[in-house]
């Protein structure tokens, strides 16, 4: 019997100016990185909301990487620093609900760092492979409906 290998699903929120350029450069230079890393281009990682990170996990991602500009080089001045704080908060929230904070990570890159983007994507994939599938995925402890019901209850809790 052949044992099925777990291939994690990673969502990578990438800054248009830096990290997305680094991912593009990696592709142009034919530097391989895991195909299970799905890139979402943002104008700036500073536009990333904590809810978007959590919704990616709720929707079935096993991990989320946020890749922004190098510190001090953000095209929108402090967007990457805002993203860094939000990623730290998302990690805190994951710990509070009993999930591994390591499922979410922030990386900083310039558009000339194609090899480093590939290394970050590979590092994130290996980390999540070690952690295993997200408990939020169907059949891994919580059903998506339970998560949605809990979210609805939380959203309406203060309205009574």
pLDDT for 134 beyond 60: yes
How many other CB atoms are there within 10 angstroms of residue 129's CB atom?
Answer: 18
* Residue labelled with tokens 């991912």: 23
How large is the average pLDDT for residues 17-31? 96
Which DSSP string corresponds to 85-146? HHHHHHHHHHHHTT--GGGEEEEE--TT-HHHHHHHHHHHHHHHHHH-S-TTSTTSSS-HHH
Domains and CATH numbers, the chain: 10-133 (3.40.50)
* 75-119 confidence digits (pLDDT tens): 898 999 999 999 999 999 999 999 999 999 999 999 999 999 999
* 53-69 confidence digits (pLDDT tens): 999 999 999 999 999 99
pLDDT for the residue 160: 53
pLDDT for the residue 159: 60
């Amino acid at each position: 019997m052949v044992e099925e290998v777990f291939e994690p699903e990673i969502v990578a929120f990438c800054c248009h100016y830096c990290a997305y350029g680094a991912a593009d450069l990696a592709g142009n230079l034919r530097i391989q990185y895991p195909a299970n890393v799905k890139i979402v281009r943002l104008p700036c990682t500073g536009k990333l909301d904590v809810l978007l990170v959590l919704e990616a996990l709720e929707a079935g991602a096993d991990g989320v990487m946020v890749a922004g500009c190098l510190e001090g080089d953000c095209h929108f001045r402090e967007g990457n620093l805002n993203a860094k704080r939000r990623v730290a908060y998302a990690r805190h929230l994951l710990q509070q609900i009993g999930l591994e904070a390591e499922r979410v990570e922030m990386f900083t890159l310039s558009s000339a760092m194609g090899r480093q983007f590939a290394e970050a994507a590979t590092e994130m994939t290996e980390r999540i492979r070690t952690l295993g599938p997200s408990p939020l995925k169907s059949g891994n402890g919580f059903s998506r409906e339970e998560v949605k019901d809990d979210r609805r209850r939380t959203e309406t809790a203060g309205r009574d």
